[in-house]
Amino acid sequence: VSNAGVGMAGPLECQSLAAMQSLMDTNFFGLVRLVKEVLPDMKRRRGGHIVVISSIMGLQGIVFNDVYAASKFAVEGFCESLVVQALRFNVAISLVEPGPVTTEFETKLYEEAERADYSRTDPETADIFTNLYLRNSKDVFASLGQTPEDIAEHTLRVIEAARPPFRHQTNVAYTPMAALKHADPSGALMTDAFYKLVFKYDAVLRLGLR
């Protein structure tokens, strides 16, 4: 089970390349190192199961989560490419894709975001992040967040499945969000829906979440 991960949220201009590289080293290359260690023996035994804790953000990017989403997209692409070869050796790969999970991980991330210096971006972007994104994110976690125990139960079901799924989303509230992307290959439908949700109907979004 690959579960190590770090988060990053905020305006792109305010994040250093070193911090981005560190995040990728944990979220993506940490998984790659693990798979390189366990896969050869699994192939020799012609049996095994690699379970990767990914994220719904590996399927759909979220505003102000650019680098974190990129790391999870990398995880998804890596596993999607590897799974076909692995199946030849009777090795299963499963991606568990949670939405928001209420843990100290997220609490610390948002506390740091509230204290951060946003002088390297323009005032409008800083205002959107601090007064729109952070406020809405708290409502999202309060309304839709799952417990770590719930994610553990989902993961256990994937591990115990007779035919393990390649992808398993833990929160049905995010199924429509992922479906938008597949409904319109041009990306226009998804982009327009998210733009309106963030910038036009954010009050309705917060009311609905509450």
Catalytic residue annotation: 68
Take residue 31 and report the two structure tokens written for it: 């998984």
Tell me the pairing of strands 167-169 and 48-53: unpaired
Q: What are the E-state strand segments in 11-142?
A: 48-53, 91-97
CA distance 40 to 42: 5
CA distance 102 to 109: 12
CA distance 199 to 201: 6
